[in-house]
Amino acid sequence: MYGSGRAEEFVGQVIKHVGRSSVFITTKILPDRLVDKELVLKATRESLRRLGVSSADLVLIHWPNEELSITEQVRNFEVIYEYGLTRYIGVSNFDTAQLREAIEAVKKAEIVVNQVHYSVLTRHYVEKELLPYCVENNITIQAYTPLERGNVVVNPTIVKIASRYGKTPVQVALNYLISHKNVVAIPKSESINHVQEILGATGWRLKLEDLEYIKRHA
Ligand SMILES: NC(=O)c1ccc[n+]([C@@H]2O[C@H](COP(=O)([O-])OP(=O)(O)OC[C@H]3O[C@@H](n4cnc5c(N)ncnc54)[C@H](OP(=O)(O)O)[C@@H]3O)[C@@H](O)[C@H]2O)c1
């Protein structure tokens, strides 16, 4: 889905350059591959070939296949753990009920991640329902689109809090997310300057009262 596999090939070149042990590799499997174990194995092996590695750290179901039961698709999917093609498995875009069924369905592997859309501007469902369930069940939420594709920089509440801390709005928006238990964020950038700014989101913490302020106003 990402450049017809070219994104994985590019990541593979980077891995060669920086060394396998210095990166945590996550990739995803499209839902239509989940109809049988052979297809799942084939798709994963092709991903690994493009990445130039013998196993991934984490492979996710990109989103649930609506044509199959969650139990059936997760049992087909976990074959990649049994074959040693990944250290961990996870899901993406699963709601709480789907996640619960997935956790109950696995036999050999454990679901460790649910990658979902979560940002200061898109947070109600996650915070009200999904995140409490994940904390209780030791699942990590990976927040995708955590910068709302750059739109957090113009949110007046985020801009206001940022100026109080001497941080940028991007840093506040990401710090807000990772201040929640069991949450990591996966911002994307093609600019070195933006990556450096993103790095400044860690190593400090928003005060509880400011997290609450953001929840009330952003
Ligand atoms: N599982 C799923 O279904 C799913 C769906 C969507 C996305 N994702 C994943 O989530 C990750 C990120 O999501 P996303 O790309 O949708 O959204 P995002 O990270 O919220 O936004 C990326 C955009 O923000 C800009 N940006 C980054 N740093 C910035 C900064 N410091 N200041 C201003 N703008 C900045 C980037 O521009 P520059 O490149 O110019 O910095 C880029 O246009 C991706 O890795 C993607 O694969 C997963």
Protein residue closest via CA to atom 33 of ligand 1: 150
Q: Quick one: pLDDT at residue 180?
A: 97
Q: Measure CA 108 to chain center.
A: 22
Which band of pLDDT confidence, cut at 50, 70 and 90, is reported for residue 215? very high
Give domain limits for the chain.
Answer: 1-115, 118-218
Query: What is the C-alpha to C-alpha distance for residues 172 and 214, in angstroms, rounded to an integer?
Result: 10
pLDDT at 218 over 90: no
In the predicted model, what is the mean pLDDT of the chain? 97
Note the pLDDT tens digit of each residue in 34-74. Answer: 999 999 999 999 999 999 999 999 999 999 999 999 999 99
Are 103 and 136 contacting, i.e. CB atoms less than 8 angstroms apart? no
Note the pLDDT tens digit of each residue in 78-113. Answer: 999 999 999 999 999 999 999 999 999 999 999 999
CB-based pocket (< 6 A), ligand 1: 62, 92-93, 115, 144-150, 153, 170, 186-191, 194, 197-198
Pick the CATH number of 1-115 from 3.20.20.100, 3.40.50.300, 3.40.190.10, 3.40.1080.10: 3.20.20.100
pLDDT at 132 over 90: yes
Residue 147 Cα to ligand 1 middle (Å): 6
Residue 170 Cα to ligand 1 middle (Å): 11
Please give the DSSP secondary-structure letter assigned to residue 33.
G
Q: Specify the ligand 1 atom closest to the Cα of 188.
A: 19
Residue 107 Cα to ligand 1 middle (Å): 34
Q: Measure CA 22 to chain center.
A: 19
Note the pLDDT tens digit of each residue in 167-211. Answer: 999 999 999 999 999 999 999 999 999 999 999 999 999 999 999
Query: What is the C-alpha to C-alpha distance for residues 71 and 98, in angstroms, rounded to an integer?
Result: 9
Question: Per-residue pLDDT averaged across 19-41, rounded?
Answer: 97
User: Known catalytic residues?
Assistant: 2
CB atoms under 10 Å from CB of 192, counted, come to 8
Are 185 and 146 contacting, i.e. CB atoms less than 8 angstroms apart? yes
Q: 3-state DSSP call for residue 216?
A: helix
14-24: burial string, b at 16+ Cβ within 10 Å, e else: ebeeeeeeeee
Residue 189 Cα to ligand 1 middle (Å): 6
Which band of pLDDT confidence, cut at 50, 70 and 90, is reported for residue 5? very high
Note the pLDDT tens digit of each residue in 108-120. Answer: 999 999 999 999 9
Protein residue closest via CA to atom 16 of ligand 1: 145
Hey, what amino acid is at 184? V
pLDDT at 133 over 90: yes
Q: Quick one: pLDDT at residue 81?
A: 98
- The Cα angle at residue 199 between residues 19 and 111, in degrees rounded to 5: 65
Q: Are strands 86-92 and 111-117 parallel, antiparallel or unpaired?
A: parallel
Q: Quick one: pLDDT at residue 43?
A: 98
Pick the CATH number of 118-218 from 3.20.190.10, 3.90.1300.10, 3.10.310.40, 3.20.20.100: 3.20.20.100
* Residue of 132, 133, 131, 149 whose CA lies nearest to 141: 131
pLDDT cut 90: percent of the chain above it: 99
pLDDT at 21 over 90: yes
Q: Which two tokens stand for residue 146?
A: 């955590």
Are 91 and 115 contacting, i.e. CB atoms less than 8 angstroms apart? yes
Out of 188, 192, 193, give the residue to mutate to test ligand 1, the one with the largest number of ligand atoms within 8 Å of its CB.
188
